[in-house]
């Protein structure tokens, strides 16, 4: 077997390069035709591509600024388990993560909205607009092909087929490592301190409805989670206040009846129960006043700890579409083709030079 030479002289390299150039010159027109065909194809694809509609919601999440109040009521919060201290370090991070989570996206997809004059679940609108039921992946999935979701579907009570459909559409919206081009983007701008919730889709009204549903479910869920403990403690204190108020009313009624009896003949021993009622009444009055004070403080604490979302920008119809520029894609295709052709020619030249008969071919030329 003849091995390729590695010790070419300068003259041999120049002669081989001339021979290789002659071969390339013979096929230069087909190469140029392929290059122009790729550029024209890129331009045609950009021209025929559907426009993209961007629905953007920008909001500000206000942190709790009542640090002095929280410190003053920390004893009450600790006693009742209200959790008066919260970590503000990860609040915005949690909001960004929640916005694109399976939970928020899944609940948003089960929102009943109107698109193109028809009222249905968002997930059904998305499946219909993008013809997902006709795709090969949907047809080949035994669960997806049988999945049906009506307006009574609830996220917590989905069956296996419905859950598979929600997860599948949710991945298309959020994007995954294997499919990074999801239509949902959530970002936090440190300069403006705003969170941007962006949905990009080829259907204008669907993008707006999905954006609105995501924002509403995010605010609703985050507010409920942030205030759930305090609301539970407020309800407990309210029940305790009602119970003490009922006992106080019963004690006052009993004390009044005993006092009425004092106008008649009453033994000295009977006065003991009257004194006990008076003592109990005074104790209940003190207890009721203390519970009401704590209840008012805790309600004020609950109001102060409720997260504040301020919506700065929200999407409205109509939305100006984002069109792909054909000339940009044409130049991009031309540049990509030129780079690819250059690399291919370089590799071909190296292969041409390392052939065993490279010297003979150059000498014969």
d(CA 124, CA 86): 39
Higher pLDDT, 77 or 150: 150
Question: Model confidence over 44-89: pLDDT tens digits?
Answer: 666 666 788 999 999 988 765 444 444 445 555 554 454 444 444 4
The secondary structure of the chain in percent helix, strand, coil, rounded to multiples of 5, reads 65, 10, 25
- Answer whether residue 178 shows pLDDT above 60: no
Decide if 150 contacts 112 (C-beta within 8 A): no
For the chain, the structural domain boundaries read 10-49+326-364, 53-227+309-313
Give CA–CA dist 6/104, Å, rounded.
64
Per-residue pLDDT band for 187 (boundaries 50, 70, 90) equals: confident
The encoded tokens of residue 36 equal: 């122009």
- 176: confidence class by pLDDT, cuts 50, 70, 90: low
Cβ neighbours of residue 127 under 8 Å, at least 6 residues apart? 133, 165, 169
What local confidence, expressed as pLDDT, does residue 162 receive?
93
* Relative orientation angle of helices 160-174 and 122-129, to the nearest 10 degrees: 70
Q: Alpha-carbon distance 253 to 231, whole Å?
A: 33
- What pLDDT is recorded for position 160? 92
Please state, in angstroms and rounded to a whole number, the distance separating the CA atoms of residues 192 and 61.
Answer: 11
Dihedral sign for Cα 303, 309, 312, 313, please: negative
Task: Inform me whether the pLDDT recorded for 330 exceeds 50.
Answer: yes
Q: What is the pLDDT of residue 5?
A: 53
Chain centre distance of CA 183: 11
C-beta separation of 207 from 200 below 8 A: yes
Annotate 220-229 with b (16+ C-beta within 10 A) or e (fewer). Answer: eebeeebbeb
The alpha carbon of 312 is separated from its chain's Cα centroid by a whole number of angstroms, namely 18
User: What percentage of the chain has pLDDT greater than the value 90?
Assistant: 21
pLDDT surpassing 50 at residue 155: yes
Distance between start and end Cα atoms, the chain: 24
Least confident of 57-66, 138-147, 239-248, 312-321: 57-66
Assigned token pair, 50 = 């559907």
CB of 122 closer than 8 Å to CB of 209: yes
What confidence score (pLDDT) does residue 86 get?
Answer: 45
């Amino acid at each position: 077997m003849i091995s390729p030479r590695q010790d070419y002289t300068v003259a041999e390299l120049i002669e081989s390069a001339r021979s290789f150039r002659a071969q390339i010159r013979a096929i230069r027109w087909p190469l140029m035709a392929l290059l122009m065909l790729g550029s024209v194809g890129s331009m045609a694809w950009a021209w025929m591509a559907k426009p993209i509609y961007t629905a953007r919601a920008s909001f500000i999440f206000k942190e709790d600024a009542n640090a002095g109040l929280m410190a003053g009521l920390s004893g009450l919060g600790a006693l009742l388990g209200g959790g008066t201290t919260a970590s503000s370090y990860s609040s915005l991070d949690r909001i960004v993560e929640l916005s694109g989570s399976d939970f928020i996206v899944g609940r948003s997809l089960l929102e009943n909205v109107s698109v193109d004059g028809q009222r249905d679940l968002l997930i059904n609108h998305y499946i219909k607009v993008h013809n997902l039921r006709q795709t090969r992946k949907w047809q080949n999935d035994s669960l997806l092909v049988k999945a049906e979701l009506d307006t009574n579907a609830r996220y917590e009570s989905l069956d296996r087929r419905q859950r598979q459909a929600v997860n599948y559409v949710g991945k298309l919206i959020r994007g995954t490592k294997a499919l990074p081009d999801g239509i949902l983007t959530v970002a936090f701008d440190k300069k403006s301190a705003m969170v941007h919730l962006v949905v990009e889709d080829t259907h204008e009204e669907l993008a707006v409805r999905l954006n609105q549903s995501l924002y509403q479910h995010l605010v609703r869920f985050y507010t409920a989670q942030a205030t759930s403990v305090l609301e539970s403690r407020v309800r407990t204190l309210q029940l305790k206040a009602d119970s003490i108020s009922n006992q106080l009313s019963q004690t006052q009624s009993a004390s009044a009846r005993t006092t009425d009896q004092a106008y008649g003949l009453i033994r000295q021993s009977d006065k003991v129960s009257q004194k006990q009622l008076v003592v109990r009444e005074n104790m209940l009055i003190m207890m009721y006043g203390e519970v009401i004070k704590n209840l008012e403080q805790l309600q004020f604490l609950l109001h102060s700890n409720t997260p504040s979302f301020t919506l700065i920008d929200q999407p409205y119809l109509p939305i100006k579409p984002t069109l792909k520029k054909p000339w940009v894609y044409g130049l991009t295709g031309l540049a990509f083709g030129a780079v690819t052709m250059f690399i291919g020619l370089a590799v071909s030249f190296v292969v041409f030079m390392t052939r065993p008969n490279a010297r003979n071919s150059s000498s014969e030329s």
